[in-house]
Amino acid sequence: MDGYDMHAFEPFAVTVDLAVFTVRAGVLQVLLVERGQEPYAGQWALPGGFVLPRESAETAARRELAEETGLSDVSGLHLEQLRTYSEPDRDPRMRVVSVAFAALLPDAPEPTGGGDAASARWLPCEGLGPLAFDHDRIVADAHERIGAKLEYTCLATAFCPPEFTLGELQQVYETVWGTVLDRPNFRRKVLTTPGFVEQVPGGARLTGGRGKPAALYRAGGATTAHPPLLRPAAPAGGAGRAPDPPAPAAGTATGSSARPGSGSPTAADPSREGRSA
């Protein structure tokens, strides 16, 4: 950053783009908005916007996240800078440099429509048509980054509500990685990693599931997993076995989507049924 007075410099527009993910009904989903004007009118794009004169990219990203999701408190949500996209022609109108962020949401408080965007929707990450600008690549990069961070951090809890079962936590891994994990082994790994999760004093979840009620856990204090929880090496040909998403039955859905109420996920939900000793 030397040589200030030696070159003329071109001004750039600086924006943020948000890749907001959630796991819903066993499918990884991204928050997208439908573009109203050219270019790419009618196509899906990542939410985002300009960085204002007196804010950092992180501040702008958190502001946009709040606007776009309609959540009142986004301070606790995981928001992480991904990388900056600066190809000269990525926006046909002008020179735009965009700082991309990845954000993780636990429950999906059904779109919003709060901010700039008229229509915002959660769409499955897999097989979505071409997005506006270079947003396909941003989504792919963000997906890959999150998958990698699940291995050596405790980030997966950011996809879960304040209290969750180990089955829900496992489904986060399986959904992001697109693999199936052995349940007892996953359980052992998570429980023996100090500070990954901690059991909530006296609770077990009853009604939602079909089987034995599962114990509830909270995120522990640890941020990194040592040693890491490695994703199973792809055997050889093609992708590993993908877990089938639970059947999209209405009403009492399977597993994680059975959670009632999508309001503020701040306090423990008292409508969660029976709690044994």
Partner DNA sequence: TCTTTAATGGTCAGTGCGACTATAAAGAGT
Partner DNA sequence: ACTCTTTATAGTCGCACTGACCATTAAAGA
SS3 assignment, position 90: coil
The 143-172 contact track toward DNA, x by CB under 7 A, reads ----------------------xxx-----
Pairing of strands 78-85, 44-45: unpaired
Residue 45 binds which of its own copies, DNA, none (CB < 5-8 A, kind-dependent): its own copies
183 belongs to the binding site for DNA (CB under 7 A)? yes
- Closer to DNA by Cβ: residue 82 or 229: 229
Dihedral angle over CA of 194, 197, 198, 202, nearest 10: -150
Q: Is 179 in the site for DNA (CB under 7 A)?
A: no
Cα-based torsion angle of the residue sequence 62, 103, 139, 97 in order, rounded to the nearest 10 degrees:
30
| In the complex, least distance from residue 53 CB atom to its own copies, rounded to whole angstroms | 4
Q: At its nearest, how many Å lie between DNA and the CB of residue 219?
A: 16
In terms of C-beta density within 10 A (0-12 exposed, 13-18 middle, 19 or more buried), how is residue 131 classed? Answer: buried
Q: How far is the CB of 108 from DNA (least distance, A)?
A: 20
CB atoms within 10 A of CB 214: 18
CA–CA separation, 78 and 159 (whole Å): 9
Q: Is 212 in the site for DNA (CB under 7 A)?
A: yes
Distance of alpha carbon 65 from alpha carbon 99, whole angstroms: 14
Shorter beta-carbon distance to DNA: residue 36 or 241: 241
Q: Which of residues 222-241 bind DNA (CB under 7 A)?
A: 227-230, 232
Applying CB under 7 A, which of residues 56, 59, 81, 276 lies at the interface with DNA?
276
Q: How far apart are CA 113 and CA 120, in angstroms?
A: 5
Q: Is 204 in the site for DNA (CB under 7 A)?
A: yes
Pair 154, 225: CB distance under 8 Å = yes
Position among 83, 187, 218, 275 found at the interface with its own copies (CB under 8 A): 83
Per-residue x/- marks for its own copies, 166-195, CB under 8 A? Answer: ------------------------------
Output DSSP code: residue 260.
Answer: -
